[in-house]
Chains A and B, each alone.
Chain A
Amino acid sequence: MALETTTMTMTQDPILKVEHLSMRFGGLMAINDFSFEAHRGDITALIGPNGAGKTTVFNCITGFYKPTMGMITMKQRSGKEYLLERLPDFEITKHAKVARTFQNIRMFSGMTVLENLLVAQHNKLMLASGYTVLGLLGFPAYRQASREATELAKHWLEKASLIDRADDPAGDLPYGAQRRLEIARAMCTGPELLCLDEPAAGLNPRESHALNELLQGIRRDTGTSILLIEHDMSVVMEISDHVVVLEYGQKISDGTPDFVKNDPKVIAAYLGVEDEEVEEVIEQIEEIEGGQGGTKQ
């Protein structure tokens, strides 16, 4: 089944194309000439050791950083293309339909769970309320839109199994529930690409299993493509169709989970190698690179 979807989606058009992305902070090259593609309907995982630059890539994609070089193209279902590096941060969610979550959860902790999801539907509701003016005068259009927004929020609360806590302050939720709420909130913006920064961090096995199901449900029901950074290999290997490995700002591997799992470069990056084995590994790598170079046009 998993194989089928990958082969099927591989032929499809890419939803996100990152080309020659570089990000320099002063003298530090955090990302160096990084390119990859995320395919529509896929779950793409971005992995790598700590400090590899994964979150920096995310921040470039979602507009929190302006990349030093490179091009990030988001292609919507309608065929419309957006160059994300040129858009201001909030327009990336508003127009390009890319939503994200954060490594350290960012909730509106003093607002209720339901309110959190309503805030996420800001742009839609703003339009319905005639930029506040019509809503202030009590026009029915806004009331209708507000009811629909609550319905959508309810839908996602049920998906994230948070419906019982809808009227509680978000800050009162346990950690795992906050993670799910953040994902539900991002989904309320109606994204085509959902970027998750370590969604399973700090979750226990049961919670991360629930998270897997939530993510697969999102992909199945809405066709939203997912790009995620993750350290939890059980999540990565189980749900992702495509894995990109980053080390020191450079791509070292790119392919199906099985391919990446057995790539000696990835193993070396994660586990490190002993001094006497270094040459051996380098040889191996060169061999593989030679082989890969052939396949890579």
Chain B
Amino acid sequence: MANIASTTASAGTEVTARALRESVFAGLITLGLFVLFVGLKTDQNIRNELILTQRWGLLAIFVIIAMVGRFLMVAYVQPWLARRKAAKAAAPEVAKEESFFSRNFSRIAIVALILYPPVIVALFGIQGSLKWVDNFGIQILIYVMLAWGLNIVVGLAGLLDLGYVAFYAVGAYSYALLSTYFGLSFWVLLPVAGLLAACWGLVLGFPVLRLRGDYLAIVTLAFGEIIRLVLINWTEVTKGTFGVSGIAKATLFGIKFDASKDGFAALMGLPISSVYYKIFLFYLILGLCLITAFVTIRMRRMPIGRAWEALREDEIACKSLGINTVTTKLTAFAMGAMFGGIAGSFFAVRQGFVSPESFVFLESAVILAIVVLGGMGSLTGIAVAAVVMIGGTEILRELAFLKVIFGPNFTPELYRMLIFGLAMVVVMVWKPRGFVGSREPTAFLRERKAVSGSFTKEGHG
């Protein structure tokens, strides 16, 4: 017993000695690297002469950080990692009973979302809840719906589409233009916008049927830009960069959400506030999302959904089994585009204003990033990714306290893309197949076993 204790103690001193040695090396390397970069600085004095400023203090800080960092790494972090690895290897693989939470995750999430507006109103008051319902609730749900729509094209059918925002734009402008020119109601135009976007999906689908992978991505990217440029340049109809404003709001069975006598607030005897409309929109987009999820889940279990996934796995094998790959691809494009279009018309009714600026390539990239981060094909993973990505960006706006640390000129929103990129790199290193990398089979004989991500293919376009 004492023997073992002494050996561990000697091992401990050995590690500490090694850590000290390595920290000295790290310090020397840092000194060598930074002595000219940090230790000396060229400056101009009043007579415009070049002078050398010496910053030994700063250099010392750099060196100390490197030394301490290396010491902690070698002495504590590395042994800890090694111990954890050994413990993991030693412990036999225990069949983990899934917790109640993870088994019923989607049900809990839906209930939470339905309860979200009343809880927020109770917590923050009627006016205070506006931001939480609108910026966090509606904004995230729009992206959830868009990403679920794109998931059909990219995640299931394996067709890389970089111009998905085009369908979003088609939906938004369909509602904006048809309601301003013809005065049609939102409820009529919602399916119409979906159908129009689906038609555009087919229009895009036909020329790209023969393309795969990178080529497909480039053409879809170009298609997205074409739609945006048409919206900018067709000024007689779309009013160009000025955009379409004053778009009619949605109504609930003919009840308007305004301050008039027969508006929602007056009818319900509630104080006049814009928050009711936002809450109504929240439930509307929640409903649309649920429809999207329902249709996607149902379709995956139908021959068409299986054909999409088979197409992603191997197109030639699909042909040999008598599957018409042309119609299969086109339906995938059309279905994805339809959900994009419906989300677009919802976007128009929520903003009350659409302009081509909302439909830039960055939006396509963000939606695609959500699909990839979430794990291609997994609805739950994608929803989580949308919350992280879009919610994360919104939270950056709330971090005003950072100004105290970084000075008054610091605006956290400007670092959005940087953090976005970092987050993506981290997630992709940690979970290369996205949050949910495994695939849920659509049929089973005895037990439903998730298919590991290492077997599924990403599709070749």
Interface residues, chain A, with chain B CB atoms under 8 Å away: 62-64, 89-94, 99-102, 106-112, 114-115, 118-123, 125-126, 129, 132, 135-136, 142, 146, 150, 154, 163, 166-172, 185-186, 189
Contacts and interface: CB of A to CB of B under 8 A. Distances in A.
Given A115-B442, A119-B306, A136-B299, A107 B321 contact: no
Interface string B312-328: 11101111111111000
Nearest to A195: B320
Contact of B451 (A112, A118, A126, A150): A112
B443 interface: yes
Interface stretch (B4-12, B129-137, B402-410, B452-460): B452-460
Contact of A111 (B298, B313, B325, B452): B313
A34 B441 CA distance: 45
A93 B320 contact: yes
Nearest to B455: A171
Contact of A122 (B322, B444, B448): B322
Nearest to A168: B449
A115 B442 CA distance: 7
Interface of B: 295, 298-299, 302-304, 306-307, 309-310, 312-314, 316-325, 331, 439, 441-449, 451-452, 455-457
Contacts of B302: 125, 129, 132, 135-136, 142
A142 B298 CA distance: 12
Nearest to B335: A132
Contacts, number: 141
B322 A112 contact: no
A166 B445 contact: yes
A115 B441 contact: yes
Nearest 8 Cβ contacts at the A-B interface: A110-B456, A93-B322, A94-B322, A171-B455, A108-B313, A106-B317, A125-B303, A169-B455
A110 B455 contact: yes
A166 B299 contact: no
A170 B306 CA distance: 14
A77 B298 CA distance: 37
Contact of B444 (A101, A120, A163, A167): A167
A150 B322 contact: no
A114 B457 contact: no
Interface centre among B306, B439, B444, B447 (most CB of A within 10 A): B306
Contacts of B324: 90, 94
A62 B320 contact: yes
